[in-house]
């Protein structure tokens, strides 16, 4: 047998990098990680062949780290908080040149610039979905009790609206009840949108989370984990609908436990299903 194939992992915060590393290990990869200081869990050290710790903005050092170990394909997992662009930001020459040429500071603009720099250096960024295995949400009921026709109607209505809003790069989550929009995610983030929507509902609001119509699957694929369910519970929301095939489920066992504890239903919907309602 030959040597195992090598793959790079650009690891941000949260459980996603650890779950992605576990999936890559199952697939027989030798994993070489570039981890972000003050963001990535130290536990990444136990699941990788090598780990290089860098500050946000050290793009040249990241490229060098991957090239030193012979990595030409990488996958990204876990976000890096945007506040690091203003605090503890240590850009090298490559990063500064890239930032100067950005049309704006949107997440997509920044990430497209980074993937372009990596491509120019001979490093391909792979789709997050490609190696996510069981983390990818399937169709129809995923967890909890079967949803009723009224919830399904709200879900379909919200799905179409969420897609339109996501297409304008406003947000990717909406909260709906009785086919009325209670909340739309904007710069405040998903959690605050759920809180606001739940406070306006009567315990029957449906939370819908979708991918952008032109979602770049190399980064920022929609995801949910235990924290989303905890926010839903405190806000009185009992139903979560996510886009099937384009949403990541993080910490699946914790999700299953919380679904039972909070009596929450989670459903995977496709665009075709939403359009047909």
Q: Do 146 and 247 share a domain, yes or no?
A: yes
Q: Do 254 and 138 share a domain, yes or no?
A: yes
Q: Which long-range contacts (CB under 8 A, 24 or more apart) does 62-68 make?
A: 62/10, 62/34, 63/94, 63/117, 63/118, 63/121, 63/123, 65/32, 65/34, 66/8, 66/32, 66/34, 66/123, 67/121, 67/122, 67/123
Domain boundary among 106, 126, 146: 126
Q: What is the pLDDT of residues 28-45, one digit of tens each?
A: 999 999 999 888 999 999
Residue 181 lies in a domain: yes
Q: Is the pLDDT of residue 18 over 60?
A: yes
> Residue 95: what pLDDT?
67
Q: Is the pLDDT of residue 104 over 60?
A: yes
The lowest-confidence range among 97-101, 129-133, 271-275 is 97-101
Output helix, strand, coil percentages for the chain, rounded to the nearest 5: 40, 20, 35
Residue 1 lies in a domain: no
The two tokens of residue 120 are: 């120019």
> Residue 89: what pLDDT?
57
Q: Is the pLDDT of residue 98 over 90?
A: no
Residue 29 lies in a domain: yes
Residue 37 lies in a domain: yes
Q: Do 119 and 149 share a domain, yes or no?
A: no
Q: Do 121 and 142 share a domain, yes or no?
A: no
Q: Do 121 and 72 share a domain, yes or no?
A: yes
Please give the residue range of the domain that contains residue 70. Answer: 6-126
Task: Give the count of beta carbons closer than 10 Å to the beta carbon of residue 188.
Answer: 12
Q: Do 187 and 264 share a domain, yes or no?
A: yes
> Residue 114: what pLDDT?
87
The domain that contains 206 carries what CATH number? 3.40.140.80
Q: Is the pLDDT of residue 71 over 50?
A: yes
Q: Do 208 and 85 share a domain, yes or no?
A: no
Percentage of residues of the chain with pLDDT beyond 90: 73
Q: Do 178 and 95 share a domain, yes or no?
A: no
Q: What is the pLDDT of residues 145-193, one digit of tens each?
A: 999 999 999 999 999 999 999 999 889 999 999 999 999 998 888 999 9
Q: Do 141 and 271 share a domain, yes or no?
A: yes
The lowest-confidence range among 99-113, 133-147, 187-201, 235-249 is 99-113
The domain that contains 50 carries what CATH number? 3.40.50.20
Domain boundary among 126, 161, 181: 126
Q: Do 122 and 175 share a domain, yes or no?
A: no
Domain boundary among 95, 126, 157: 126
Q: What is the pLDDT of residues 230-277, one digit of tens each?
A: 999 999 999 999 999 999 999 999 999 999 999 999 999 999 999 887
> Residue 101: what pLDDT?
72
pTM (predicted TM-score): 0.87
């Amino acid at each position: 047998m030959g040597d195992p194939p090598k793959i790079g992992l650009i690891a941000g915060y949260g459980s996603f990098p650890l779950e992605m590393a576990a999936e890559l290990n199952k697939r027989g990869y030798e994993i070489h990680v570039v981890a972000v200081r003050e963001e990535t869990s130290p536990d990444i050290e136990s699941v990788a062949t090598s780990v290089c710790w860098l500050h946000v903005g050290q793009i040249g050092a990241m490229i060098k780290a991957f090239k030193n170990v012979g990595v030409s394909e990488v996958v990204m997992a876990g976000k890096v908080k945007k506040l690091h662009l203003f605090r503890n930001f240590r850009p090298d020459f490559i990063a500064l040149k890239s930032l100067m040429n950005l049309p704006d500071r949107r997440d997509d603009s920044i990430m497209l610039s980074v993937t372009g720099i990596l491509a120019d250096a001979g490093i391909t960024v792979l789709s997050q979905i490609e190696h996510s295995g069981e983390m990818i949400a399937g169709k129809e009921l995923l967890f909890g009790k079967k949803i009723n026709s009224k919830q399904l109607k709200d879900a379909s209505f919200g799905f179409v609206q969420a897609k339109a809003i996501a297409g304008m790069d406003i947000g990717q989550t909406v909260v709906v009840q009785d086919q009325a929009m209670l909340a739309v995610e904007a710069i405040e983030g998903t959690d605050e949108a759920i809180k606001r929507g739940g406070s306006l509902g009567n315990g029957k609001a449906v939370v819908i989370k979708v991918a952008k119509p032109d979602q770049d699957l190399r980064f920022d694929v929609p995801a949910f984990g235990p924290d989303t369910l905890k926010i839903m519970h405190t806000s009185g929301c009992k139903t979560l609908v996510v886009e099937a095939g384009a949403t990541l489920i993080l910490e699946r066992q914790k999700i299953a436990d919380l679904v039972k504890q909070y009596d929450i239903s989670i459903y995977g919907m496709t665009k075709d299903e939403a359009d047909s309602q």
